[in-house]
Amino acid sequence: MLRLFIAVELPPDLQRKLSSIKNEMKKVKEAKWVEPQNLHLTLKFLGNCSEEKVPIIIESVASSVKNAKPFAFKLNGLGCFPSNKRARVFWIGIKEGEEDLIKLQQFVEEALKPLGFKKEEKAFHAHVTLARLRRFQDMRLGIASIETEEFSTQFIQVKSITLFQSRLTPSGPVYSEIVKIPLKG
């Protein structure tokens, strides 16, 4: 079985910049920060899948996004799930290009539905997870103290999406690219 997800990759220099937020959030306790090389924007988490299913997943997703045009988006704004007052997941959001990300996520959802993958019940909220908190924390003051302008000035080009394998290890997850699926539209 392979643990899989589909995501938009972030440029390595941006991954390093985003990981610097950790230094500004020293008051956050019991947090598992995402390693810089693992920062990405998830479109769909597939969970455990048989290796035999991988080619049909690739074919279906590639077919669904073949008319999607490359686009760009910008990051901006920090927030938490389920709320900034009772945070468990700390993220950076999207300033521009969210509509294109939502459309791309819907293409992926539609491609995977006939293969038995359940459609997400909650509305898609495009974001990059920065940390997972082991207990609920109030993040309102910490978030207010961080300026995200340096991240919002950079456009992130989306020319492909990537099918990743995630292997859980004692030191954290290790992500391996299985295939990049180009947007050709």
Please report the DSSP string for 15-55 in residue order.
HHHHHTHHHH-TT--SEEEPPGGG-EEEEEEEEEE-GGGHH
Residue 185 to residue 183: CA distance in whole angstroms:
6
Distance of CA 55 to the CA centre of its chain: 22
Provide the pLDDT for residue 27: 72
Residue tagged active-site, from 15, 39, 40, 60 = 40
pLDDT < 70 regions, the chain:
148-151
Residue 137 to residue 74: CA distance in whole angstroms:
27
Residue 66 to residue 28: CA distance in whole angstroms:
42
Cβ proximity of 108 and 183 under 8 Å: no
Residue tagged active-site, from 127, 130, 131, 164 = 127
Provide the pLDDT for residue 23: 81
Q: What is the per-residue pLDDT across 56-97, written as a single tens digit (0 to 9) for each?
A: 999 999 999 988 999 999 998 899 999 999 999 999 999 899
The region that residue 172 occupies, defined by phi over 0 for left and psi between -120 and 50 for alpha, beta otherwise, is left
Mean pLDDT of the chain: 92
Provide the pLDDT for residue 141: 82
Provide the pLDDT for residue 150: 66
Residue 127: active-site member: yes
Residue 125: active-site member: no
At CA 107, angle to CA 101 and CA 112, rounded to 5? 125
